[in-house]
Amino acid sequence: MPTLASSAPPSDSAHYGPQLGDAEFDFIRHVVGENAGIVLGPNKRQLVQGRLARRLRELGLPSYEAYCEYLRDAGPEELVGLINAITTNVTSFFRENHHFEALASYMLPEAMKRNAASRRLRIWSAGCSTGEEPYCISMVAAEVLPASPRYDFKILATDIDSDVVAAATSGIYPLDRMSSVSQDRLKRFFQKGGGEHAGCAVAKQDLKSSITFRTLNLLHTWPMKGPFDVIFCRNVMIYFDQPTREKLVSRFSDMLAPGGYLCIGHSESIHAGTAPFKLVGKTIYRRNGGLNG
């Protein structure tokens, strides 16, 4: 779940070293807004300066003016570095657990009924961050789906930040981040890490096998065709402006099967008339059509 970094920059970054000027901040705001849909208000200036200070050091650049010139010349390659630098990813296992309870109680059972002939089930974790969300989806599905007949079940997990996608793909988590995973689930789906991964839980291959991790900018072309039975896009749209949110929700509706579900974050909502959705639970929307009308 990529969000704007919320932590303040180091105290010395505001007083020492290169300073982010008006022109450079406006340019960075424009680039980030156009390419990632993230709105950087004037109050985010010190935050951006602090987050990009490390990037300047990594590139050996003396100023933010030099960085902006580098960004213009490097193009898409450095755009990834910029987005990775100014975003942070706050998530945990079974965060907003009511979504996973709903997935088990009616989302997956309805999808199984709807797709009884093909036994094809698809879920998209859009803004997967470091992977906790798709792994939770995979755990729930393993508990709900029957062993026989087997279902063609796949999870697509995407994020704009290539660094967190790499972390998610590894499936390795410090044990102190596993407190919200029950002991039964921990034993069933994870193994104890050894060597350099001592003190970590490592996702078992059975848990990982249903998940495909990819880097994806939600504002760009989507290469997948769908349809999806459930889409999770939680705590992502809050950082977009209203027109971008409305366009994104409309695109999600096009990717969902009739009767499919969209789960959004606790501080997000979909305005009536924006897309063919009906609110059916706390931040849970069902696309019109399908078994439920």
Per-10-residue mean pLDDT, the chain, length 293? 44 64 94 82 89 92 95 84 76 93 98 96 96 98 91 96 92 95 97 95 97 94 95 88 89 96 91 79 90 57
Looking at 29, 159, 185, 287, which residue is catalytic?
159
Active site residue 55: no
Give the largest CA-CA distance in the chain.
Answer: 65
Q: How far apart are CA 97 and CA 133, in angstroms?
A: 10
Active site residue 120: no
Instruction: Yes or no: say if 229 and 115 are a contact pair by the CB < 8 Å rule.
Output: yes
Structure tokens at 7: 């932590």
pLDDT on residue 10: 40
Q: What are phi and psi of 104, to 5 degrees?
A: -75, -40
Classify each residue of 126-158 as buried b or exposed e, where b means 16 or more C-beta atoms within 10 Å of its C-beta.
Answer: bbbbbbbbbbbbbbbbbebbeeeeebebbbbbb
Q: How far apart are CA 22 and CA 251, in angstroms?
A: 35
Q: How far apart are CA 187 and CA 291, in angstroms?
A: 36
The tally of CA atoms less than 13 A away on the side-chain side of residue 37 is 21
The pTM assigned to this predicted structure is 0.80
Question: Which alpha helices (DSSP H) does the chain contain, by range?
Answer: 22-36, 45-59, 64-74, 76-86, 98-102, 108-114, 132-144, 162-170, 183-189, 205-208, 242-255
Query: At what angle are helices 64-74 and 45-59 packed, to 10 degrees?
Result: 70
Looking at 51, 55, 122, 185, which residue is catalytic?
51
pLDDT on residue 7: 37
Instruction: Yes or no: say if 87 and 4 are a contact pair by the CB < 8 Å rule.
Output: yes
Amino acid present at 291: L
